[in-house]
């Protein structure tokens, strides 16, 4: 973002008498937003893309990105406050709604909020700081070089006189916006790099309303829906007599292939949902997991796949090999299972709609709602609540559309809620997939590597094949093939790599064994080959990956585990962050237990260590949990599990202790919501191999140890 005259809304009269300096502070803020004609009419409600400085020196910073527990509502304003040079205690953070005039990337996804916001956020803070300095210099009639910003005040370096920001903001707002501002040096940071607790923390611990499901308005009704129980089915007819006779049920009606149940409270709508008798038909194939397994096998051996990267002459390398290793890995669909089930509030009126709820993609949803209701997008407002988890599921706002549709029929504000069963069975699942990975070995060296993905509805795309080990091997090929299914799939935390990393890293372990090399040393050696590679497509840094490998090896005492403790190693790069992990597994009564994971991370400058560690720990445990237990099948289009009695999520007694170490450097920050998850599965597989002698190729791993597991 270039902060310029046009997107730097300056002074306005705040209704309570304060003044504010408004500036766009997101990297992707639009630069060409027209200024309102009458600046004096600006008020708190009109613009929400600014830093507001009150007369008493307090600062409000607006957070535009959706908060799903990844911490951006705290960490993004921290960056602004740092450059603004204001103590954190004086900062108040507010969540903004969707405002496409002002912000472009109001999305939570891909671990990109911090990385893409870094420059814009700093520029916003620094620009305001410089203008406040100038205003003070003007007041004292001295050169701006003679003043410094210190903790919310401008200090005259000669006289030590002070003016706090609130005393300067009005003057500052009248100044020209500087073309170029200097950022602080990392050494000067006072907020970045310090532990700052989550800005909503005090509300969370007291149980105050924060989430979508907590949203309430007078006159609101509650709704749930019945959707086709199997993928591929359509609604033929239904009988709602019993449901409608239930006290508190307001209406039951069809919309598309779904049935809406509207009631005076949530429970009544859930209860009525069970009383509706629906008849479903199908002219599509109702698919089962066995079908998928064989379809994916066929795709793995078929010739017509899409080649995403092809270095050297892979076929020749395999022809000349002394030895070829080939393995096939499989993973199931996975539901997201956000702790807060999908829900949305909608109030649709003639020509307009107002929506409130948990959504990772407000802008996209706004457009879709407008299209659905055949109204202008600008007449659809979306406010974002805190989200009880996202993991990719809330990228797909179908639930918001359902809420809008039900409200438009009822002509009443409604809150539409998924039961847990709806949430688990009406998902946008991580696609089931298989990988075939092969390596050619000649004269004790790895000479060729090929990887093929077969996936339901597709997965990997252009960027991913440029991750490690791309660039480390002369002969290297990645190809993909897909099968189009009527089961809906989509992004699931660390999409594309959440299973891929596990397979590749487990495969490396086998190669190391064949080459009689230590797995850590083998990776370090492979990465040596990458240095000097001039291919600009290579996404990762060999040096940074080597650094995290060494850090993880050191902190885990790699190779020196106690009797009965078995270590597995991985190193991976995704979402712009470099990670290495060591898992420690012990066998307890014949079952592998992941006791500890050491995780070394290079994500550049760590903005908020206490929250960054939390993210990293969560990502690791999530990765361990789903690779160990995540089991989800389809039978005739119907999911095998619909609630937590049949779907096993990792719990307290199974969660490993996670130790997190960050590489300290002054490089630009990258995301942390996802990158610690994909490697975890491989670390566990490698450790289980050492612990049990069994090499695991299929997730969930627990299935290899448990016959007739009642949960499976």
Instruction: Quote the least distance from Cβ 222 to ligand FES, whole Å.
Output: 17
Residues 267-296 that bind another protein (CB under 8 A): 267-268, 270-271
- Residue 31, SS3 per DSSP: coil
If one asks whether residue 607 binds another protein (CB under 8 A), the answer comes out as no
413 binds ligand FES (CB under 6 A): no
Cβ distance 386 to 356 under 8 Å? no
Least distance in angstroms from the C-beta of 71 to another protein? 7
* Min CB(604)–another protein separation in Å: 21
Residue of 331, 368, 338 lying closest to 428 (CA atoms):
338
Q: At closest approach, how far in Å is the CB of 618 from another protein?
A: 4
> Is residue 97 near ligand FES by the rule CB under 6 A?
no
Tokens of 694: 């069994």
Binds 36, which of ligand FES, another protein, none (CB < 5 to 8 A, cut-off by type)? none
Q: Is 41 or 203 the residue whose CB approaches another protein more closely? A: 203
Contact flags string 232-261 toward another protein, x per CB under 8 A: ---------------xx-------------
Q: Which residue stretch of 26-34, 224-232, 653-661, 697-705 sits at the interface with another protein (rule: CB under 8 A)? A: 653-661
CA 420 to chain centre: 21
State in angstroms the smallest separation of the CB of 78 from ligand FES: 20
* Residue placing its CB nearer to ligand FES in the complex, 145 or 652: 652
The span from the first CA to the last CA of the chain, in angstroms, equals 51
Min separation Cβ 240 and ligand FES, Å: 27
Nearest-Å Rg of the Cα atoms of the chain is 28
Beta strands in 410-496 (DSSP E): 414-417, 433-442, 445-456, 475-483
166 in contact with ligand FES (CB under 6 A): no
Which region holds residue 12: left if phi is over 0, alpha if psi is between -120 and 50, else beta?
A: beta
Contacting residue, 41, 92, 180, 202, with another protein by CB under 8 A: 202
Query: Which of these, 569, 516, 600, 560, lies nearest to 689 by C-alpha position?
Result: 569
User: Sign (positive/negative) of CA torsion 297, 303, 305, 308?
Assistant: positive
**Minimal distance, residue 288 CB to another protein, in Å:** 26
Q: How far is the CB of 547 from ligand FES (least distance, A)?
A: 31
Q: What angle, 0 to 180 degrees and rounded to 10, lies between the N-to-C axes of helices 542-555 and 519-530?
A: 160
CB under 8 A: which stretch of 262-270, 426-434, 472-480, 631-639 binds another protein?
A: 262-270
Q: Which does 622 bind (CB under 5 to 8 A by kind): another protein, ligand FES, none?
A: another protein
Give the residue, chosen from 167, 466, 615, 627, that forms a contact with another protein under the rule CB under 8 A.
Answer: 615
The yes or no reply on residue 266 touching ligand FES (CB under 6 A) is no
Exposed (0-12), middle (13-18) or buried (19+): which is 407, by Cβ within 10 Å? buried
- The runs of H, that is alpha helices, within 16-61 are none
| Whole-number Å distance between alpha carbons of 404 and 354 | 9
* Partner from ligand FES, another protein, none binding residue 400, C-beta < 5-8 Å depending on class: none
* Residue of 196, 57, 51, 19 lying closest to 121 (CA atoms): 51
Q: How far apart are CA 251 and CA 254, in angstroms?
A: 10
User: Under the criterion CB under 8 A, does residue 194 sit at the interface with another protein?
Assistant: no
By C-alpha distance, which of 328, 545, 575, 325 is closest to 454?
Answer: 328
Instruction: Provide, rounded to whole angstroms, the least separation between the CB of residue 245 and ligand FES.
Output: 27
Contacts of 516 (CB under 8 A, 6+ apart): none
Shortest CB 424 distance to ligand FES, Å: 13
Q: Does 644 bind another protein (CB under 8 A)?
A: yes
Residue (349 or 657) nearer to ligand FES, CB? 657
CA dist., res. 178 & res. 235, Å (int):
61
Which of 166, 489, 439 lies closest to 314, judged by CA?
439
Here the tokens at position 110 are 């891909």
CB of 360 to ligand FES, least distance (A): 15
Residue with tokens 């497509």, as numbered in its chain: 537
CB 386 within 8 A of CB 200: yes
- DSSP structure string for 28-90: T--S-PPPPS-GGG--TTT--SSEEE-TTS-EEEEE-SPPSSS-HHHHHHHHHHHHHT--GGG
586 binds, among ligand FES, another protein, none (CB under 5 to 8 A by kind): none
CA distance 422 to 406: 17
Smaller CB separation from another protein, 200 or 251: 200
Nearest to 382 by CA among 110, 95, 113: 95
Q: Nearer Cβ to ligand FES, position 69 or 120?
A: 69
Query: Which of 12, 413, 618, 679 touches another protein by CB under 8 A?
Result: 618
Among 201, 302, 307, 339, binds ligand FES (CB under 6 A): 339
Which one of 190, 420, 442, 695 is in contact with another protein (CB under 8 A)? 420
Name the one range near another protein by CB under 8 A: 281-289, 474-482, 651-659, 701-709: 651-659
Q: Should residue 386 be labelled a site residue for another protein when binding is judged by CB under 8 A?
A: yes
Q: Does 555 help bind another protein (rule: CB under 8 A)?
A: no
* Identified binder of another protein from the candidate list 116, 419, 505, 567, rule CB under 8 A: 419
Contact 220, 412 (CB under 8 A): yes
Instruction: Name the residue number minimizing CB distance to ligand FES.
Output: 339
Binding segment toward another protein, per CB under 8 A, in 225-233, 308-316, 386-394, 402-410: 386-394
Tokens (6 digits) for 207: 């149980």
Phi, psi of 34 (to 5 degrees): -70, 140
* The 3-state secondary structure of 474-513, one letter per residue: CEEEEEEEEECCCCCECCCCCCCCCCHHHHHHHHHHHHHH
Among 104, 148, 161, 214, binds another protein (CB under 8 A): 214
CB of 591 to another protein, least distance (A): 16
Residue 653 binding: pick among another protein, ligand FES, none (C-beta 5-8 Å cut-off by kind): another protein
Among 298, 643, 698, 709, indicate the residue that binds another protein (CB under 8 A).
643
378 vs 99: CA distance, rounded Å:
10
Contact with ligand FES (CB under 6 A) among 69, 413, 619, 656: 69
Shortest Cβ 269–ligand FES spacing (Å)? 16
Q: Which of residues 370-389 bind ligand FES (CB under 6 A)?
A: 389
Instruction: Tell the smallest beta-carbon distance from residue 420 to ligand FES (Å).
Output: 8
CB of 617 to another protein, least distance (A): 5
Residue written as token pair 């990293």: 616
Nearer to another protein, 337 or 506 (CB): 337
CA of residue 235 relative to chain centroid, distance:
34
Range list of H helices, 595-703: 609-629, 677-692
Neighbours of 371 (CB within 10 A): 12
Owner of token pair 């892979």 = 314
Give the span between the Cα atoms of 582 and 529, in whole angstroms: 23
If binding is defined by CB under 8 A, does position 198 make contact with another protein? Answer: yes
Q: Are 597 and 578 in contact (CB under 8 A)?
A: no
Indicate whether 201 belongs to the interface with ligand FES (CB under 6 A): no
Contacting residue, 12, 18, 69, 120, with another protein by CB under 8 A: 69
Cβ–Cβ under 8 Å, residues 453 and 297: no
Q: Which H or E element spans position 344? A: strand 343-349
Minimum distance between the CB of residue 389 and ligand FES, rounded to whole angstroms? Answer: 5
User: Which residues would be at the binding site for ligand FES (CB under 6 A)?
Assistant: 69, 339, 389
User: Which residues would be at the binding site for another protein (CB under 8 A)?
Assistant: 68-71, 195, 197-198, 200-202, 204-211, 213-214, 216, 222, 247-248, 265-268, 270-271, 337-341, 386-391, 419-420, 610-611, 614-615, 617-622, 625, 643-645, 649-653, 655, 657-658
């Amino acid at each position: 973002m270039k902060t310029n005259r046009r997107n730097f809304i300056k002074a306005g009269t705040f209704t309570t008498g304060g003044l504010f300096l408004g500036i766009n502070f997101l990297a992707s803020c639009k630069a060409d937003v027209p200024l309102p004609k009458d600046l004096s009419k600006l008020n708190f409600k009109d613009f929400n893309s600014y830093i507001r400085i009150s007369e008493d020196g307090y600062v409000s910073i607006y957070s535009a990105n959706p908060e799903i527990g990844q911490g951006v509502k705290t960490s993004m304003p921290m960056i602004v406050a740092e450059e603004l040079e204001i103590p954190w205690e004086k900062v108040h953070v507010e969540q903004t709604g969707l405002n496409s005039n002002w912000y472009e990337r109001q999305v939570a996804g891909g671990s990109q909020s911090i990385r893409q916001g870094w420059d814009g956020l700093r520029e916003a803070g620094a620009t305001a700081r410089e203008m406040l300095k100038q205003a003070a210099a003007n007041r004292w009639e001295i050169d701006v070089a003679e003043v410094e910003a210190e903790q919310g005040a401008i200090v005259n370096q000669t006289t030590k006189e002070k003016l706090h920001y609130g005393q300067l903001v009005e003057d500052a707002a009248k100044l020209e916006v500087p073309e170029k501002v200097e950022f602080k040096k990392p050494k000067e940071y006072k907020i970045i790099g310090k532990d700052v607790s989550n800005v909503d923390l005090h509300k969370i611990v007291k149980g105050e309303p924060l989430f979508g499901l907590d949203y309430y308005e007078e006159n609101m009704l509650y709704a749930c829906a019945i959707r086709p129980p199997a993928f591929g089915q359509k609604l033929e007819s239904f009988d709602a007599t019993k449901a409608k006779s239930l006290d508190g049920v307001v209406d039951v009606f069809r919309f598309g292939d779904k049935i809406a149940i509207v009631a005076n409270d949530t429970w009544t709508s859930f209860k009525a949902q069970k009383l509706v008798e629906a008849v479903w038909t199908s002219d599509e194939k109702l698919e089962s997991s066995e079908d998928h397994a064989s379809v994916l096998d066929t795709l793995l051996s078929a010739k017509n796949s899409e080649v995403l990267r092809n270095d050297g002459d892979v076929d020749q390398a395999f022809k000349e090999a002394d030895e070829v290793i080939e393995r096939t890995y499989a993973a199931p669909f996975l539901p997201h299972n956000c702790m807060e089930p999908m829900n949305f509030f909608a109030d649709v009126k003639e020509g307009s709609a107002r929506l409130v709820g948990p959504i990772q993609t407000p802008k996209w949803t706004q457009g879709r709602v407008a299209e659905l209701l055949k109204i202008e997008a600008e007449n659809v407002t979306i406010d974002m609540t805190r989200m009880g988890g996202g993991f990719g599921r809330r990228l797909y706002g179908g639930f918001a559309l359902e809420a809008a549709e039900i409200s438009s029929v009822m002509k009443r504000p409604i809150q539409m809620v998924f039961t847990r069963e709806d949430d688990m069975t009406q998902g946008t699942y991580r696609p089931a997939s298989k990988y075939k990975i092969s390596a050619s070995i000649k004269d004790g060296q790895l000479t060729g590597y090929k990887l093929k993905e077969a996936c339901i509805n597709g997965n990997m795309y252009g960027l991913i094949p440029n991750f490690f080990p791309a660039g480390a091997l002369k002969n290297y090929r990645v190809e993909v093939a897909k099968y189009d299914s009527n089961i809906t799939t989509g992004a699931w935390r660390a999409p594309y790599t959440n299973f891929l990393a596990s397979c590749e890293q487990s495969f490396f372990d086998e190669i190391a064994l064949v080459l009689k090399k230590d797995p850590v040393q083998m990776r370090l050696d492979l990465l040596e080959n990458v240095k000097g590679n001039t291919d600009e497509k290579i996404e990762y840094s060999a040096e940074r990956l080597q650094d995290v490998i060494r850090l993880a090896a050191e902190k885990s005492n790699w190779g020196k585990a106690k009797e009965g403790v078995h270590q597995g190693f991985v190193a991976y790069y995704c979402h712009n962050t470099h990670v290495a992990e060591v898992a420690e597994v012990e066998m307890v009564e014949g079952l592998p237990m992941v006791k500890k994971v050491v995780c070394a991370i290079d994500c550049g400058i760590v903005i908020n260590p206490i929250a960054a560690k939390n993210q990293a720990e969560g990502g690791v445990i999530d990765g361990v949990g789903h690779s160990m237990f995540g089991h989800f099948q389809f039978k005739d289009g119907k999911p095998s599990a619909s609630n937590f009695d049949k779907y096993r999520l990792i719990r307290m007694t199974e969660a490993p202790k996670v130790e997190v170490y960050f590489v300290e450097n002054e490089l630009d920050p990258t995301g942390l919501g996802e990158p610690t998850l994909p490697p975890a599965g491989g670390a566990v597989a490698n450790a289980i191999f050492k612990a049990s002698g069994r090499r695991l190729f299929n997730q969930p791993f627990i299935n290899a140890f448990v016959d007739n597991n009642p949960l499976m």
